[in-house]
Structure 1
Amino acid sequence: MSRFSSLPWLFCAAVLAAWLFRLIFTPSLLVTIESLMGIIVILVVTVLVRTRLEPAEVYVDRAKGIVARVGLFKVELFAGRLLAHVPLGIDLSHSATSVLAAMSERYERSSGGTLSFFVWRPLTNDSTSIGMLVSRESWSIPGLLRLEKLTEEILEDVFVLEGAMRAAYPHLRVTEAPVGLTKAVLRGGLMQ
């Protein structure tokens, strides 16, 4: 989830590469000046955005269990489900294939989503949390219309995920992941 992983940065890199190739293979003074100016502008914009860009803002909807991360170019929504009271030594991988199959069908009908598996082991004596996280991302367009559409899509994802988890693990209780845990998983396991 890097700042440089979105499509606008890929486009800038492609334009930069095109100007570099044009500069190398077309020995005209006008092309050289144009290419150098374009390269300098893209590099300056990249440095300014990289150094002065505020980190993505995080919003939480505790009622729905959704965490939203709104950045410069994209908005991402996350929601998770936990397997409660997993006994030691149980093999979760065999039943996970049915969860993956259900989510694969869902994502074939509605693209733009991802499914992640996580294990959360706190440093304290609290119990280990095992769960799955669904996410959706889209362009960060001003206004709430796109965010509402993404919210509907991720709620459908959560519904499919929870049903698939209950069917795959009938002996375990499936619960909503607390928002704090979802935020910690997104931070790479760091609690604040």
Structure 2
Amino acid sequence: MSRFSSLAWLLCAAVLAAWSLRLIFTPSLLVTIESLMGIIVILVVIALVRTRLDPAQVYVDRNKEIVARVGLFRVELFAARLLAHVPLGIDLSHSATTVLAAMSERYERSSGGKLSFFVWRPLTNDSTSIGMMVSRESWSIPGLLRMKKLTEEILEDAFVLEGAMRAAYPHLRVAEAPVGLTKSILRGGLMQ
């Protein structure tokens, strides 16, 4: 369903208009409840169709290395950190408990965050990227106030994550993941 036809929009508008007129001209409690339920169902269906038609927009802040995915109902922010030059055969899982402990302490104080571990292996002869990504999501509320608060929270999450990774892996260099890598991780590893 790539496009929602104009006939379908016309049908939804006609049903909404009929229920609205019935609600206005028939002052019965049962008809009022039925009409309101019908109007609500149609509006929910329209909202769900719109979310399927309008894909999430992706915005990038290259200065802060943050990727934002803004949809109709929610906004998500992502920041990733890489472990650079990981030797083959090294066990990363033991020290990861230190990172998990630091991040769980952070998320106990402010809920709504997620921590993800990723391994990104390109099809070319480039090196494998290993790291962790923090994310936050919220309802998409118009205005910049919520986005600004989410940005501050994700920057604090990234700062705590980077510090925990440096403490857990002192022999490895921790670096900010480039925005392109973060975007490809969000796409499931596919490059465009």
Normalising TM by the smaller chain, what interval?
Answer: 0.7 to 0.9
Matches within 5 A, 1:1-192: 33-34=34-35, 37=38, 41=42, 44-45=45-46, 48-51=49-52, 53-192=53-192
Alpha-carbon deviation of 1:31? Answer: 9.1
Structure 2 unaligned blocks of 5 or more: 1-29
State the SS of the aligned residue for 2:91.
Answer: coil
What percentage of residue pairs aligned between the two structures are identical?
Answer: 79
Alpha-carbon deviation of 1:47? Answer: 5.6
Alpha-carbon deviation of 1:145? Answer: 1.2
TM-score by length of 1: 0.78
- Cα distance in 2, alignment partners of residues 182 and 39 from structure 1: 38
- Cα distance in 2, alignment partners of residues 145 and 35 from structure 1: 33
Q: 1:39 to 1:140 in 2, by over 3 A?
A: closer
Alpha-carbon deviation of 1:48? Answer: 3.1
- Cα distance in 2, alignment partners of residues 109 and 83 from structure 1: 26
TM-score by length of 2: 0.78
Alpha-carbon deviation of 1:139? Answer: 1.3
Q: 1:121 to 1:38 in 2, by over 3 A?
A: same
Alpha-carbon deviation of 1:190? Answer: 0.5
Structure 1 partner of 2:16: none
Q: Which amino acid aligns with 1:78?
A: F
- Cα distance in 2, alignment partners of residues 147 and 43 from structure 1: 25
State the SS of the aligned residue for 2:63.
Answer: coil
RMSD between aligned alpha carbons? 2.1
Structure 1 partner of 2:14: none
- Cα distance in 2, alignment partners of residues 39 and 70 from structure 1: 25
Alpha-carbon deviation of 1:144? Answer: 1.1
Q: 1:88 to 1:141 in 2, by over 3 A?
A: same
Structure 2 partner of 1:23: none
Structure 1 unaligned blocks of 5 or more: 1-28
Greater Rg over alpha carbons, structure: 2
Q: 1:43 to 1:149 in 2, by over 3 A?
A: closer
Q: 1:47 to 1:151 in 2, by over 3 A?
A: closer
Q: 1:31 to 1:147 in 2, by over 3 A?
A: closer
Alpha-carbon deviation of 1:49? Answer: 2.1
Q: Which amino acid aligns with 1:76?
A: E
Alpha-carbon deviation of 1:46? Answer: 5.1
